[in-house]
Amino acid sequence: MVTLAEVARRAKVTGATVSNVLRNPQKVKPETVERVMAAIRELGYRPNLTARALARGRTSTLALMLSNIANPFYPEFVLAAEREARKRGYFLLVCNTDDDPAITRAYLEQIAGSLASGIIVMNTDLGEGELTDVANRGVAVVLCMWEHVQPSRTLPCVTIDFAAAGALAATHLSGLGHRKFGALVGAGSGGPQTIRLDGFARALAAHGHSEKSLTVVHAHDSLESGYEATMGLLHRKPALTAIFATNDLMAIGAMQAAADLGKRVPDDLSVVGLTDIVLAHQFRPALTTVRLPTAEIAARSIALALEMVEGGTSTQDLYVVRAPELIVRESTGPAPSRRRRA
Amino acid sequence: MVTLAEVARRAKVTGATVSNVLRNPQKVKPETVERVMAAIRELGYRPNLTARALARGRTSTLALMLSNIANPFYPEFVLAAEREARKRGYFLLVCNTDDDPAITRAYLEQIAGSLASGIIVMNTDLGEGELTDVANRGVAVVLCMWEHVQPSRTLPCVTIDFAAAGALAATHLSGLGHRKFGALVGAGSGGPQTIRLDGFARALAAHGHSEKSLTVVHAHDSLESGYEATMGLLHRKPALTAIFATNDLMAIGAMQAAADLGKRVPDDLSVVGLTDIVLAHQFRPALTTVRLPTAEIAARSIALALEMVEGGTSTQDLYVVRAPELIVRESTGPAPSRRRRA
DNA sequence: GTGAAAGCGCTAACAA
DNA sequence: TTGTTAGCGCTTTCAC
């Protein structure tokens, strides 16, 4: 391994100067810079990032804690996050927790042991206390897309207005003349997505619908779970004409269930999702959904973490990214004429 | 930050002993272990992984180079890889290259600068030379799912028999009585997937089909590209009754194209994919496909990289993982009776 | 503008 | 069984 010392020797300077050439070339005489660069090239020198991290007191690594990257939302998020991190010279560690607190804790231990200098936590079964501990050890902790009613009092949080997202879906469906609604509420991790539901329910009420017009059913963040939940829901409430799912995967499962029950989407049943994953527009019928600014949230979270890392500061602010947006596609339509069913 | 020295002081031993307690407790008197562990607990000590890496000469990080994690194959791969790595105390860095040689090179530079002690390269536009350079710097380089005809002479490679995979598809389709075939060949990165196609074509020939019975069209590893390619293909060759796509995403795009052209799958057109991503069985009609042992390849690649890292050895062997397997679902069926079309 | 020197926190001989 | 002693390769004051 070629070290900085060898480069120094060859360029007839000391290590300090080589180090400066690499990081503040303007502080070094141009000719010296030239000589050092030449030596670096000739020797094929690459700075040892581990040594650098040790000397500087921080690594160029950020960790991303998520429950399971196989959920299609995450790859989209990771892609954007990685790009932002790379732009700023950082690397991304993917930490799949499988929603297992033991795994999550193990990761936190390592990260607290200076594996990464910052960490984006997308969800977790852990209490806020354990995360605060890590933050107190000097790691930049950023909560991302947290859905608790009460945002953290000690950790910064990047999120979007989930209630508004739910409301968008409700207004759309209500505007199409629907009267009997079903809601599929996911609970991938970090508890049920109740804020999304609340936003939906509240907007329904605002549009004059009674509480009885909405039937809620709980599920998990998967296509299969959305399918099962919808089968049960439509069995119990065959008169439903509109379903809101708190995420797209469940919405797609709902459409498949409808198809299997002989219901046409959107003629017999309208379905609206939430997230706008890539599959949403690829699926047939294309899913009407509320788009979350995924890439923007990812980039913002990384940027915030890096600000904290590099500024050595901490914050507990709440950052709410751009509002969600309704994307109307093929899965929603006017409520079927009421004559068709009792 | 609590350091090893502070733990040592508190436990009234030296750093060397604390270090031993952590890594070879059997070499330390039980009571001392007790005392040290108590100190660790009381102080909330976490070993600094950066310092450890510097002292040991290697990090506990592995890099995974892939073109774009948004392609659904990769998250499935990453999930398995991360699990295997975690089991052995390593962490996974996700490196999205976007098939951009500049990005790939930048990552390699950093990795060569001891960012990671091993690297799994899934595909790349780079020549083997640049990878060999990295390997020569002491990084464990493992090629994974390489599809070149000539496997590397200097780097180990974990892969599967892509030709056999293609052949499986051909045999299935031929057995169903099809006579006019189309093939969608992807080229996500690392060049076109010609081995898959060759296996398919050769098996077709072996079953007595002439060369003219197969029409090949090139596309990219995406649903949209599979859609477009199929539109073009069916326009030029309306008599096709079977399509083989070298990956599932394109196969699904093909099914959508068929639907838009008024062709029913599998009644009018059979479609078979390759990979068996999760979406393959979730989609309707469920896709018949050749399953690749994704998780197994991932785990094997990680394991091999770690063997090299920990053993300090290198190898140039070719590891061929379990054979692919045909998964028959709903997208393939008997060739339509020949009377229906000229 | 450049060099000398003291670490960063841990590991790994080798001694004791 | 435990301690001593050098580093690992780089950064970073502080002199010169």
CB-CB contact of B68 with A79 (8 Å) = yes
CB-CB contact of B288 with B328 (8 Å) = yes
pLDDT tens digit sequence for B167-203 = 999 999 999 999 999 999 998 666 789 999 999 999 9
Q: In this structure, is residue A71 part of a structural domain?
A: yes
CATH number of the domain to which A132 belongs: 3.40.50.2300
pLDDT tens digit sequence for B319-330 = 989 899 999 999
One domain for residues B285 and B304: no
One domain for residues A60 and A133: yes
Report chain C positions within 7 A of protein CB atoms: 1-5, 7-13
Please judge whether B115 and A49 are an interchain contact, meaning their C-beta atoms are less than 8 angstroms apart. Answer: yes
pLDDT of residue B341: 45
Mean pLDDT throughout A227-232? 98
Q: In this structure, is residue B275 part of a structural domain?
A: yes
* β-bridge pairing B91-96 and A325-327: unpaired
One domain for residues A98 and A167: no
CB interface of A with B, residues 245-274, below 8 Å: 252, 256, 259
Q: In this structure, is residue A306 part of a structural domain?
A: yes
Mean pLDDT throughout A112-137? 91
CB interface of A with B, residues 154-183, below 8 Å: none
- Give how far B339 is from chain A: nearest CA, Å: 31
Answer whether residue B338 shows pLDDT above 70: no
One domain for residues A183 and A114: no
One domain for residues A130 and A151: yes
Answer whether residue B257 shows pLDDT above 60: yes
Annotate A169-238 with three-state secondary structure.
HHHHHHHCCCCCEEEEECCCCCCCCHHHHHHHHHHHHHCCCCHHHEEEEECCCCHHHHHHHHHHHHHHCC
CA-to-CA separations, A101 to A66, A96, A323, in angstroms, rounded: 12, 11, 31
CA dist., res. A256 & res. B66, Å (int): 32
CA-to-CA separations, A108 to A119, A241, B166, B212, B286, in angstroms, rounded: 9, 45, 44, 60, 40
One domain for residues A185 and A148: no
Identify the CA nearest to B120 among candidates B162, B70, B85. Answer: B85
A256 closest CB neighbour out of B47, B103, B284: B284
Please judge whether B1 and A138 are an interchain contact, meaning their C-beta atoms are less than 8 angstroms apart. Answer: yes
Distance B305 CA to C8 C1' (A): 29
Closest nucleotide to A4, Cα to C1' = D9
Q: In this structure, is residue B46 part of a structural domain?
A: no
Name the more confident of A338 and B154.
B154
pLDDT of residue A341: 46
Q: In this structure, is residue A187 part of a structural domain?
A: yes
One domain for residues A282 and A303: no
Answer whether residue B112 shows pLDDT above 70: yes
Please judge whether B110 and A49 are an interchain contact, meaning their C-beta atoms are less than 8 angstroms apart. Answer: yes
Mean pLDDT throughout A246-254? 98
Answer whether residue B342 shows pLDDT above 70: no
pLDDT tens digit sequence for B135-159 = 999 999 999 998 876 778 899 999 9
- Give how far B68 is from chain A: nearest CA, Å: 7
pLDDT tens digit sequence for B20-55 = 999 999 999 999 999 999 999 999 999 999 999 999
What letter does residue B125 receive in the DSSP assignment? S
A&B contacts, CB < 8 Å: 124
Q: In this structure, is residue A255 part of a structural domain?
A: yes
Answer whether residue B315 shows pLDDT above 70: yes
CA dist., res. A134 & res. A108, Å (int): 7
pLDDT of residue B26: 92
A48 closest CB neighbour out of B49, B96, B113: B113
One domain for residues A171 and A241: yes
pLDDT of residue B190: 67
Mean pLDDT throughout A285-307? 97
Q: In this structure, is residue B229 part of a structural domain?
A: yes
Distance B21 CA to D3 C1' (A): 14
Binning pLDDT at 50, 70 and 90, where does residue A342 land?
Answer: very low
Domain housing A155: 56-160+294-311
Q: What is the mean pLDDT of chain B?
A: 94
Distance B20 CA to D3 C1' (A): 12
One domain for residues A98 and A152: yes
What letter does residue A89 receive in the DSSP assignment? T
Closest nucleotide to B113, Cα to C1' = D9
Identify the CA nearest to B230 among candidates B304, B301, B156, B331. Answer: B331
CB-CB contact of B104 with B127 (8 Å) = no
Mean pLDDT throughout B282-306? 97
Q: In this structure, is residue B10 part of a structural domain?
A: no
pLDDT of residue B276: 98
CB-CB contact of B79 with A69 (8 Å) = yes
Report chain D positions within 7 A of protein CB atoms: 1-13
Sort B129 into a burial class: Cβ within 10 Å, 0-12 / 13-18 / 19+: exposed
One domain for residues A148 and A76: yes
Amino acid code (one letter) for B314:
S
CB-CB contact of B167 with B244 (8 Å) = no
One domain for residues A241 and A99: no
Please report residues of A whose CB lies closer than 8 A to that of B106.
86
What letter does residue A126 receive in the DSSP assignment? S
If you measure CA to CA, which chain A residue comes closest to B137?
A1
Please report residues of A whose CB lies closer than 8 A to that of B113.
46-49
Share of chain A above pLDDT 70, in %: 97
The two structure tokens encoding residue B1: 């930050």
- Cα A258 to its chain centre, rounded Å, is 29
Answer whether residue A125 shows pLDDT above 80: no
Please report residues of A whose CB lies closer than 8 A to that of B69.
69, 75, 78-79, 82
One domain for residues B219 and B124: no
Residue at minimal CA–C1' distance from C13?
B16
Task: Give φ, ψ of A32 to 5 degrees.
Answer: -65, -45
Say how many domains are in chain A: 2
- Give how far B155 is from chain A: nearest CA, Å: 20
CB-CB contact of B266 with B331 (8 Å) = yes
Answer whether residue B74 shows pLDDT above 60: yes
Question: What DSSP letter does each residue of A29-81 carry, written as one string?
Answer: -HHHHHHHHHHHHHHT----HHHHHHHHT--SEEEEEES-TTSTHHHHHHHHH
A70 closest CB neighbour out of B79, B109, B284: B79
- Give how far B161 is from chain A: nearest CA, Å: 25
Sort B283 into a burial class: Cβ within 10 Å, 0-12 / 13-18 / 19+: buried
